[in-house]
């Protein structure tokens, strides 16, 4: 892996298929479905082949389903941590540029 001080490649992780909205289940707490996990796991070999060996920063929202998806990707890439950002869940993409330029 090249690590000559360059910035890491930012990987924004949204989510795989999640449980439908339901009364009493806040949107933020919707988990992945079994199908969502299986479909995403089937895509992991391609993602690993594309991303492996690069200096990466995994960013996701604080929504349960997004964290679950990012954790699957992090495990496949042997990455120990990821960052959660409220602005990803909120869709405040103007914050992406500021976060991307912030010192790491």
Averaged pLDDT, groups of 10, the chain, 104 residues long:
67 94 96 98 96 93 97 95 92 83 72
Give the pLDDT of residue 104. 64
- Nearest CA to 65 among 33, 35, 97, 100? 33
Q: Which domain holds residue 74?
A: 29-97
Query: What's the structural domain count of the chain?
Result: 1
pTM as predicted: 0.85
- Is 48 part of any domain? yes
The whole-angstrom separation of Cα 81 and Cα 35 is 25
- Is 21 part of any domain? no
**Residue 85 and residue 10 in contact, taking contact as beta carbons nearer than 8 Å:** no
- Is 1 part of any domain? no
- Is 89 part of any domain? yes
Give the pLDDT of residue 49. 96
- Is 7 part of any domain? no
How much helix, strand and coil, in percent to the nearest 5, is found in the chain? 45, 15, 40
- Is 33 part of any domain? yes
Give the pLDDT of residue 97. 81
CA distances from 57 to 6, 12, 18, 23, 28 (A): 12, 8, 23, 35, 22
Give the pLDDT of residue 5. 58
């Amino acid at each position: 892996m090249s690590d000559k001080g360059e910035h890491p490649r930012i990987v924004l992780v949204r989510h795989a298929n999640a449980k439908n909205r339901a009364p009493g289940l806040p949107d933020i707490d919707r988990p992945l479905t079994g199908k969502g996990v299986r479909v995403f796991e089937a895509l992991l070999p391609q993602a690993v082949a594309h991303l492996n060996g690069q200096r990466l920063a995994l960013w996701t929202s604080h929504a349960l389903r997004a964290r679950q998806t990012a954790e699957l990707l992090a495990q496949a890439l042997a990455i120990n941590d990821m960052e959660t950002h409220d602005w990803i869940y909120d869709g405040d993409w103007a914050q992406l540029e500021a976060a991307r330029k912030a010192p790491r």
